[in-house]
Amino acid sequence: MPTILPISDLRNYNEVLKKVSAGSPVYLTRNGRGTYIINKLDDFDPETIKEDLLRALERGVESMKHGKSATLEEVAKKYNV
């Protein structure tokens, strides 16, 4: 389960940083919306991020080929954008 905290918890940043571990970032919210992520530097690899994005896009294209799609409005509503 992800660790989600309000940004105001950074007043005690040592406590927040204790909750960050490899593969388990801490998500910070402002006014109830996701704003920042605190991640271990070892977990940040731009090449892996690109590869993950490309795989997700490929899954989306395959899904569309099978008639599964959503409008931009449906996606925005689902993700509260």
The pLDDT score that the predictor gives to residue 35 is 94
Q: What is the mean pLDDT of the chain?
A: 91
Rounded mean pLDDT of 59-68?
A: 90
Task: Please give the structure tokens belonging to residue 6.
Answer: 């309000």
The pLDDT score that the predictor gives to residue 81 is 75
The pLDDT score that the predictor gives to residue 29 is 96
The pLDDT score that the predictor gives to residue 20 is 94
Domains assigned to the chain: 1-42 (3.40.1620), 45-81 (no CATH)
Is this model's pTM higher than 0.95 or not?
no
How far apart, in Å, are the Cα atoms of 26 and each of 42, 52, 63, 67, 79? 15, 20, 31, 36, 19
